[in-house]
Every structure is written in structure tokens, then in C-alpha cells.
Amino acid sequence: MTKRDDLKARANELGLEYPGNASNDHLADLIAKAEQSTPVAQVSYEVLRVVGPAKGFRRAGRAFGAKAVDIAIADLSADELALLEREPRLITQRISLPE
């Protein structure tokens, strides 16, 4: 593929409209501007951060203490999640972490 073919392919991927007689430099400028304005997808996953009593506490088959434990919400069943969030001896918080 030629440089022009690469530029045209990238412009088409970005959904750019350009005249057929646009120079390579013009195409490169259009692509650069489009790439700068395209938001970068933030990849994250939800976790349940759980803190228990200093002496320790077990619930839903897991041990909790004074140090925070992050559990991927995808790893919990709906019942386990509800059980942990309703437990008065646990402090829970749903948060998103970058992947």
C-alpha cells in the first residue's frame, strides 16, 4: 500500500469526508485533528471495596478485616453482593478502577 492508500484508509476509519483531490498533507492534517478530538475510551471495571472490623469478620465465604479488600463485582453473585452490602459490620463502597 502507498502512503496515500494508508491515509485514505485511516480517514475512512475515522469517518472523515474529504475531496478526492485532497493532498496527502491535507489528509494527514484532517486525520491528526480528528484523532486529537476523538475521546480515548476509559476502560475500567467495578469493584466492591469492603472494610471489616479490626478483629476480622467472615461473610459470603470471604474474610474481611481493617485493611480494605477489593472484589470484582463480576465475581460476586447477586445474592453475595446484596449480603455484603447489607451487612452492618462491613463498610462497602462500589468503585470503578482502571484496568
Higher-scoring residue by pLDDT: 52, 12: 52
Name the average pLDDT for the chain. Answer: 88
Contact 65, 56 (CB under 8 A): yes
Distance in angstroms (rounded) separating the CA atoms of residues 5 and 14? 14
Residue 61: what pLDDT? 93
Higher-scoring residue by pLDDT: 31, 42: 31
Residue 70: what pLDDT? 94
pLDDT at residue 40 is higher than 70: no
* E strand or H helix at 39: none
pTM (2 decimals)?
0.57
Regarding the domain delimited by 44-98, which CATH topology (the fold level of the hierarchy) does it fall under?
Answer: Ribosomal Protein L9; domain 1 (3.40.5)
What secondary structure letter does DSSP report for 3?
Answer: H
